[in-house]
Chain A
Amino acid sequence: MTARPTAAFLPDGRRLHLNHGPIDLIIEVFGPERESCYGQATRRFETVLTGLVSELPALRTPIMDGHRFTNPIARRMAKAVQPHRDVFVTPMAAVAGAVADEMLEALIADRQVPKAYVNNGGDIAFHLTSGERITAAGPAGPIEIGYDDDTRGLATSGTGGRSHSFGIADAVTVAARTAAEADAAATLIANAIDLPGHPAISRERASDLSPDSDLGDRLVTTSVGRLAGDEVEEALRQGEALACRMRAEGRIREAALSLKGQVRVVASEPETRNAGVLLHA
């Protein structure tokens, strides 16, 4: 008895909630075309999950050269992880962000909308016009993004969410051009924040936790015990190095990394790279 997608307004009467299986979207459109936009989004949502499921086996394995996905969201996912093929990664690393991007596009297609966002469980795609800003919560404090910033996607990854991580980060929030790019990068930076072999870290095979996980028999983190301050710093350094590389290569805009109360920010201005300084605060 497979459930159908559902659509409902949140009690505030402004935001739309779409659900199908593991996908929960909170959508908001500002301006007079809200209702029409919500109609478009709801129609597009009908086939989001079924479309992904049709190519799920290939999405759960690392990209093979020459393989071409037919589903547009699957293509977004593959494109987002493509630059990161030097490490183990499957398109699933970008699934939440890619869904958000696709839904945002359908939401505002052919409409005049000053501002809109699609929040897919914390991975957010947004649309801004001149003078508009958007604020989201992040590990280092509120993240504010303006029209002039070349950023339209935010994503958070870590050990606490629904998906499994190889690393120990409490949270890594990444701002990038698209939510799919942010999602893939956040996943990989969170994976890099690690202390291999540390006795306080428990790991289990991903396949024991979720039999059809794209991570297979690889060990994923199930709990992180007490760590010494310098160990936290060492782990964060690993993630910070990767985030800096990604930023230098233009794959991400900014990142905020947090572990056990310590925070690192990788952003454009070097002077903001101190723990605790808010991104764009």
Chain B
Amino acid sequence: MNKVEKKRPEKVRCDACPVMCYIAEGKAGACDRYANENGRIIRCDPLTILDRRLAKGDEIKPFLAADWDGQQASGNDVTVSAIGAGTTYPDYKPAPFIVSREIEGVNCVTVVTEAIFSYCGVKVKIDTDRHLGRETAVVRAGGEAVGHVMTSEYGSQMLSLGGVDHLTGGSKAEGRSTCDALLRLCNKEAVELTIDGGSSVTVQAGRPPVVDGKAEERMRVGCGSATIGMFASQWKGLVDEVVVVDDHITGVVSEHQAGKVIDWPETGISIEGHRSTPGRYFRVAEPGLGWGGTDIDDPLKILGAWREKKGARPGLSLLMVSTTGEHAGFFVLDETLQPIEHPMPAALEASVELIAKNCEPALCTVLFMGGAGGSLRAGATTNPIELTRSVHAERTRVTLGGAPAYVWPGGGITIMVDVSLLPDGSFGHVPTPALVAPLEFTVSLDEYRELGGHDGALRSLDDVLTSGGEYGSDARILGTGK
């Protein structure tokens, strides 16, 4: 109970209504609508209407009609968001005002809730060629296991973090660390992760990854082989040999099909690696943080002896470059057929820059993934299956904080959403531990009326809206990890 001993925070008196609450720093008043943020009274309406035009860099409007600029909230510009709407778990006191004022003037019927997701996690895509860790390696935050390395994707490393096993299936410390990491990632904050047997990486949605303290700038234009294919004709005549160093597939232009078709002469080069097909080599080195996601700093280490019989000769020129153009070197064979580094000719420098220019900025992307279970749906309708059917039939749109969600085919309502599309601070948590995310089911009023006569799903939504939250008894089971 040391919390009790701490210094009392600054309080501010709110004059929004006759109660004139004193509100402590970071807390809301009796109405839950006004709060003290850094000593200032701010409006924190449980329901905010998000004007998409403004949301792209401007503020979010409060929903009260009195606070509006008079413009009617309608059409696609306005989304009723569930952020801060509150949830029925574990309290089934309906929050009637949620459904009350803001619906007026909005041509949509939106059932809003803040859903507690026991089954949830994030999929993180990290644009980097650098090897962060082996597939299935444990990913840690604050020393606790919070996820694992997934399959690599094109130019990216993927992590799966969270999930019910880490949240509630392990120790309390594991659950807390997992919940904390997920919450911060979903709220677009930076989280430092370490990978067993691999690197440490700082991940923040929409920002470049920082791998072992170094910010990644670009994602590769393609694998080494693809890079050869893209640029072979531009190199022809400028240099005698090009090696694109890549942890996945290292390409050699003189041997590669892309070189063959433009009659690129043999050079007698040999590569230390497993040849896949001509001009394409696997495992030229160990994965790491050096050239092209390998562990090497000196690219010549991947070269074997140059073979005179196959075309090697003194004066033969060689470009070695990584798949992002971040690393590059120009070499010329001396009398003993040893490659010696020389200044890069301007024409080749331009081709290296072209590789770099064709790379996209390296980013971290964070997709929240969660399942709206039977109990959650019972919170939205009294006949959950009809809601599922309506969602799958695309008659009901699912959004999180106004951001469109991808709904997985198959059973249930399992969704994925790009957290960067949600307003800051949209996610919360409960001690279960589990994440709380805003969730909206939306159907157009016309459609709703049209279907309401014969479609049970929409009548169920109607039930919810008109009876102020007569939730099925299942609603309380949310978030218990069952």
Question: Which residues of A line the B interface, CB within 8 A?
Answer: 1-3, 8, 10-12, 14-15, 17, 19-22, 24, 26, 49-50, 53, 56, 119, 121-122, 135-142, 156, 158-162, 170-171, 202-205, 207-212, 219, 223-226, 258, 260-261, 278
Contacts and interface: CB of A to CB of B under 8 A. Distances in A.
B55 interface: no
Interface string B9-41: 101000111111111100101111100000000
Given A49-B18, A140-B473, A278-B473, 11 more contacts: A24-B100, A119-B96, A122-B93, A161-B93, A162-B32, A171-B92, A203-B4, A209-B24, A210-B24, A212-B21, A219-B4
B469 A170 contact: no
B17 A8 contact: no
A201 B15 CA distance: 34
Interface residues of B, number: 50
B17 A21 contact: yes
A49 B17 contact: yes
B24 to A, nearest CB: 6
A203 B1 CA distance: 8
B390 interface: no
Q: 7 shortest A-B CB distances, which residue pairs?
A: A21-B17, A160-B91, A122-B93, A170-B90, A22-B31, A211-B22, A22-B30
B295 interface: no
Contacts of B91: 122, 156, 158-161, 170-171
Contacts of A141: 473
A234 B397 CA distance: 44
A210 B21 contact: yes
B403 interface: no
Contact of B18 (A50, A226, A258): A50
B480 A8 contact: no
6 contacts: A24-B96, A24-B100, A142-B473, A159-B91, A160-B90, A210-B24
B63 interface: no
Interface class of chain A by DSSP: loop
Most chain A beta-carbon neighbours within 10 Å: one of B17, B30, B33, B94: B17
B23 A210 contact: yes
A170 B471 CA distance: 15
A8 B21 CA distance: 25
A78 to B, nearest CB: 19
Contacts of A1: 15-16
Contacts of B24: 208-211
B407 interface: no
Contacts of B230: none
Contact of B96 (A50, A121, A135, A209): A121
A26 B96 contact: yes
B309 interface: no
Interface in B137-181: 172
A11 B16 contact: no
Given A10-B99, A10-B103, A211-B24, A202 B3 contact: yes
A121 B95 contact: yes
B100 A17 contact: yes
B138 to A, nearest CB: 23
A225 B433 CA distance: 8
Contacts of B92: 122, 137-139, 156, 171
Contacts of A225: 172, 431
Contacts of B431: 223-225
Nearest to A155: B93
A140 B471 CA distance: 11
A202 B31 CA distance: 23
Contacts of A135: 470
